Amino acid sequence: MSGAIKDVTGVLLAGGLARRMGGGDKCMRKLAGRPLLEHLIDAVQPQVSELILNANGEAERFGKFGLRVVPDIIDGYAGPLAGILTGLQWTKNHVPDAKWMASFATDAPFVPDNLVSQMLESVEANKAELACATSGGRAHPVFGLWSIALLDQLHSAMINEDIRKIDSWTSRYKLSEVSFEVEKGIDPFFNVNKPENLEEAEHFLSVKDRLIG
């Protein structure tokens, strides 16, 4: 693999409204006594050279996590694609040597620790411009690897064409899908969308701990 961690920044996407969780910051809901966001930071921070948090509103509420908080550069809660655009712009401004940016949802506490390396290896092997994770036959486009060179094209698509769905935009480019296994019934991209999903996550976490132990 010719790329390296220094070539990749990361953005944690927490800019949504979390309506199915009753509003508020979904990533602050607790799993095993710790915020979901903390689980994500532990999993992905070692995989990138710089990690930022994309979130709107008062940045101070995330102060204890020690991350730079960057709000959407497009108004109106335009979805995860706006967070991806924001991360690409931040990377271009602050890490000019970076070639790639990885994006992560903040409601999926079981993210693989080799997610970025596998996506980077895949885009280089396939000469792709983008990558996204898959598991169990389903794509997870929010968990993606994005070429910084596509920044201006994404900005134009969102501003001039009102593109909001990730798939609608990525379909224009060569996309590499990277498969990750579902092990012992635990999908590595299981996400907490509703309050009852937290109970499921607690169960999965206990299973995972037993497997590691």
pLDDT digit string, tens, across residues 152-186: 999 999 999 999 999 999 999 999 999 999 988 89
pLDDT (average), residues 190-197 = 89
103: left (phi over 0), alpha (psi -120 to 50) or beta: beta
Q: What domain range is 34 assigned to?
A: 5-212
The beta-carbon contacts of 17-20 under 8 Å, at least 24 apart in sequence, are 17/77, 20/193, 20/194
Return d(Cα 74, Cα 14) in angstroms, integer. 14
Mean pLDDT of 129-152: 97
Instruction: Tell me the backbone φ, ψ of residue 11, rounded to 5 degrees.
Output: -130, 130
Beta carbons within 8 Å of 82's beta carbon, 6+ residues apart? 15, 72, 73, 74, 158
| Spatial distance between the Cα atoms of 132 and 103, rounded to a whole number of angstroms | 9
pLDDT at 72 over 80: yes
The CATH number covering residue 74 comes to 3.90.550.10
Looking at residue 205, what is its pLDDT?
79
Is the pLDDT score of 18 beyond 50? no
- The number of folded domains in the chain is 1
Residue among 5, 6, 2, 8 at smallest CA distance from 145: 8
Q: Which of 73, 86, 88, 71 is nearest to 151 (CA)?
A: 88
Mean per-residue pLDDT, 34-58: 96
Mean pLDDT score of the chain, rounded to an integer? 91
pLDDT on residue 16: 60
pLDDT for 129 beyond 50: yes
pLDDT value at position 23? 58
> In percent, how much of the chain has pLDDT > 90?
78
The number of beta carbons lying within 10 Å of the beta carbon of residue 24 is: 10
The whole-number average pLDDT for the span 46-65 is 96
Compute the average pLDDT of residues 45-69: 96
Could you give the CA distance from residue 102 to residue 73 in angstroms, rounded to a whole number? 18
What is the C-alpha separation between 90 and 175, in angstroms, rounded? 23
Has residue 208 got a pLDDT over 80? no
> What number is the average pLDDT over the span 201-210?
76
